[in-house]
Chains A and B, each alone.
Chain A
Amino acid sequence: MSAFLALLKRDLMLSVRQGGALGTALGFYMLVVTLLPLGLGQDLNLLSRIAPGILWIALLLAALLSLGRVFSSDHEDGTLDVLATGRMPLEMVVGAKALAHWISTGIPLALTAPVLGLMLNLDIAVYPLLMATMLVGTPAVSFIGAVGAALTLRSYRGGLLIALLVLPLYVPTLIFGMAAVNGLLGVSGTSAAMLILAALSLTSVVLCPFAAAAALRVQMQ
């Protein structure tokens, strides 16, 4: 367990030191949200209606942007080889790194959503629920994304390829996240969607490390 915590702490420390990753993701997040009203027109009623969807999609794209580096920086400097020795299985290494990605990217993105919601004229009553769905759903984003990052570790079109592999797998997260938010806007089934979203996150936390670790093992040969 101390090895797991040490790795988690190191990854968080690195993301603070390097700084750029989170800044870039947040900047991208805001930019996507800024571009959409420019493209869709300034109808505030329309914007407030589609704001949760815009925020969720922008969050997925921004999280995706930072996924590429999850394993590749450790692969390039030889750290991944050393992480694979020792008693902690590679699955736990993946878990620690994906968890660090969630803490360093998923949570900040979810917490920024209300600020961007203001720009989209989103009803303030929706904020707590929107943030809750994002906090509950982003673990799935980080862990499923880790599988994509592991699979594309040695491919020569990293970033774009991750998007192609991972975005289809984000469909359930997006749909249930939106279903939970729409529940408050008066459609139905908020608690059911929220529970399914939580189940989705927990399942990815458990299963994705196995797929990602298998992919990493193959590439370390």
Chain B
Amino acid sequence: MQTLTQRLANPTRFMELSGSVLPWIAGAAAVVIAYGLYLAFYVAPPDYQQGETARIMYIHVPCAWLAMAVYAMVAMSAFGFLVFRHPLADVSAKTAVPLGAAFTFLALVTGSLWGRPTWGTYWVWDARLTSVLILFFLYLGLMALRSSIEDESLASKLTAILALVGIVMLPIIKFSVDFGNTLHQPASVLRVGGPTIDTAMLTPLLVMALGFTLMFVAMHFKAMRNEILRRRVRALQLAQVEKAQASQLAAAE
């Protein structure tokens, strides 16, 4: 039975820690997002060209930011799992992927809704939309690969390798997609020489980005806790099967 405790040893500390921190993060996320929404709808001025529709930005940009940040986190977790063989890193990678895919999907949907009044069409094959779409496919690939392999520890390792391949390919894909001209407005928050966006709009945007990030962290913690509990149940079931086999054998002899 020593192996069973060994298997659970590390995540136990995580469970204690995350259990006490989770309500605070979730609360903070709710408060910050509420404040951000207030700023976005009542304080920030409408865009002088795009009018009220520009307010989609306050949802769209945080989603797009998380779409990329979560993939980077998945890749880091995958690296941690492959190199240090830490089971918690695998739990983190596994649970972050569906969340990342969801934010990527939201970024695509909000982007397309924003595109309709701005560009006159729901979808244009501009560089940034296309690369986010491909990012979405990379997320789908990670989920599909993991679900297609029965042996869970094998699935974890292979998915981790795929995540690393993806993070190496992403800049190349981005570069290739940028090779054509882009219709999308150029980057306006993160750029050399300071943001070009007005402070009245930038503040709500940053508040929303922070709120969404906190929300992701809360959801990720919750998902990791669920995954750890699921693994514990499975370990207990396996132990039970082994015990039953042993007693059967003993009875036979």
Contact = CB atoms under 8 A, between A and B. Distances in A.
Does chain A touch chain B in the assembled complex, meaning CB atoms less than 8 Å apart? Answer: yes
Interface of A: 147, 151-152, 154-157, 161, 164-165, 167-169, 171-172, 175-176, 179, 193, 200, 207, 211, 214-215, 218-219, 221
Contacts of A172: 169, 172-173, 175-176
Contact of A165 (B141, B150, B154): B141
Contact of B137 (A161, A164, A211): A164
Interface stretch (B24-32, B57-65, B114-122, B156-164): B156-164
A157 B169 CA distance: 24
Given A171-B134, A172-B175, A172-B176, A165 B162 contact: yes
11 contacts: A147-B165, A154-B151, A154-B154, A168-B141, A172-B176, A175-B176, A175-B177, A207-B168, A215-B158, A218-B157, A218-B161
Given A172-B176, A175-B180, A211-B165, A151 B158 contact: yes
Question: Chain B's interface: helix, strand, loop or mixed, by majority?
Answer: helix
A161 B168 contact: no
Nearest to A160: B144
Contacts of B179: 175-176, 179, 193
Contact of A157 (B141, B148, B176): B148
Given A161-B145, A164-B137, A171 B177 contact: yes
Contacts of A171: 134, 173, 176-177
Interface of B: 82, 134, 137-138, 140-141, 144-145, 148-151, 154, 157-158, 161-162, 164-166, 168-169, 172-173, 175-177, 179-180
Contacts of B158: 151, 215, 218-219
Nearest to A168: B137
Top 5 A-B pairs ranked by shortest CB distance? A172-B176, A155-B148, A168-B137, A175-B176, A218-B157
B161 A200 contact: no
B176 A214 contact: no
Q: Which of B137, B144, B176 is packed against the most chain A CB atoms within 10 Å? A: B176
Interface SS of chain A: helix, strand, loop or mixed?
A: helix
B237 to A, nearest CB: 23
Contacts of B161: 151, 211, 214-215, 218
Contacts of A207: 168
Given A164-B140, A171-B134, A151 B157 contact: no
A155 B143 CA distance: 13
Contact of A168 (B134, B150, B154, B168): B134
A221 B172 CA distance: 33
Nearest to A207: B168
Nearest to A172: B176
A95 B140 CA distance: 27
Nearest to A203: B172
B148 A152 contact: yes
B169 A155 contact: no
A215 B169 CA distance: 17
B90 to A, nearest CB: 13
Given A152-B148, A157-B148, A164-B137, A176 B162 contact: no
A78 B18 CA distance: 46
A149 to B, nearest CB: 12
Contacts of A152: 145, 148
A169 to B, nearest CB: 5
B126 to A, nearest CB: 14
A214 B78 CA distance: 13
Nearest to B148: A155
A164 B176 CA distance: 19
A78 B165 CA distance: 27
Nearest to A193: B179
